[in-house]
């Protein structure tokens, strides 16, 4: 079982990005991984903006990244890039905070015109932080993420059909990287 840190870079308390991440988290949990949800907006603003890594909450965030085998990074797209909130956190983390990790970048936005933000804005910064393997990212239109009457999340069916293999590929990459969910003979060979 790999540990996955699922990071929402949305500043909104009613974030569709966060809802999408929790949807992805459920799929990763079904794959047998332990998922730790994390919302950047929960960090104290002053400590984050002043890069006060001695602050207990920022120190905890750095530790969550250090302990994770994989990281899912989700962000809304603003002005053709990832959120400033996410950028602030990434700036506070150690330079190689993603070293040795498998990373899945996800983005949400109001227009398909922002679809390239995953590859041209987010992926380069994740690579610069030492991510060992960045799997195929994915962009989801806001309007394809809805809230049901009971408060649960509904991802539009066609979007979910396209997102599923992306999440499954990330889970498989995690399995290969950590040696989890391997067949018994393969696991014995790895430890052997």
CATH at 163? 3.40.50.360
* Residues of the domain holding 140: 3-191
User: What is the number of structural domains in the chain?
Assistant: 1
Provide the token pair at 55: 């602050």
SS3 of residue 130 by DSSP? coil
- Degrees, nearest 5: CA angle 117-144-88: 40
* CA distances to 25, 80, 105 from 15, in Å: 15, 18, 16
Q: Evaluate if pTM is beyond 0.85.
A: yes
pLDDT (tens place) for every residue of the chain, 192 residues total: 899 999 999 999 889 999 999 999 999 999 999 999 999 999 999 999 999 999 999 999 999 999 999 999 999 999 989 999 999 999 999 999 999 999 999 999 999 888 889 999 999 999 999 998 999 999 999 999 999 999 899 999 999 999 999 999 999 999 998 886 543 333 333 333
On whether the CB atoms of residues 77 and 107 are closer than 8 A, the answer is: yes
The beta-strand segments (E) located in 40-185 are 70-78, 81-82, 102-109, 133-134, 138-141, 145-147, 153-155
Report how far apart the first and last C-alpha atoms of the chain are (Å, whole number): 19
**3-class secondary-structure state, position 7:** strand
């Amino acid at each position: 079982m790999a540990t996955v840190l699922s990071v929402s870079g949305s500043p909104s308390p009613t974030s569709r990005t966060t809802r999408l991440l929790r949807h992805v988290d459920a799929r990763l949990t079904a794959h047998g991984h332990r998922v730790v949800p994390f919302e950047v907006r929960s960090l104290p603003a002053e400590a984050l903006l002043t890069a006060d890594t001695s602050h207990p909450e920022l120190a905890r965030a750095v530790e969550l990244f250090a302990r994770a085998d994989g990281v899912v990074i989700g962000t809304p797209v603003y002005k053709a890039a990832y959120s400033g909130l996410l950028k602030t956190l990434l700036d506070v983390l150690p330079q190689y905070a993603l070293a040795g990790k498998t990373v899945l970048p996800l983005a949400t936005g109001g227009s398909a015109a922002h679809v390239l933000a995953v590859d041209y804005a987010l992926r380069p910064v994740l690579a610069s932080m030492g991510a060992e393997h960045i799997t195929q990212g994915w962009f989801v239109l806001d309007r394809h993420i809805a809230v049901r009457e009971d408060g649960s999340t509904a991802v539009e069916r066609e979007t979910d059909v396209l997102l599923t293999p992306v999440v499954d590929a990330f889970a498989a990459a995690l399995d290969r990287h950590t040696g989890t969910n391997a067949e018994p003979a393969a696991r014995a060979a790895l430890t052997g």
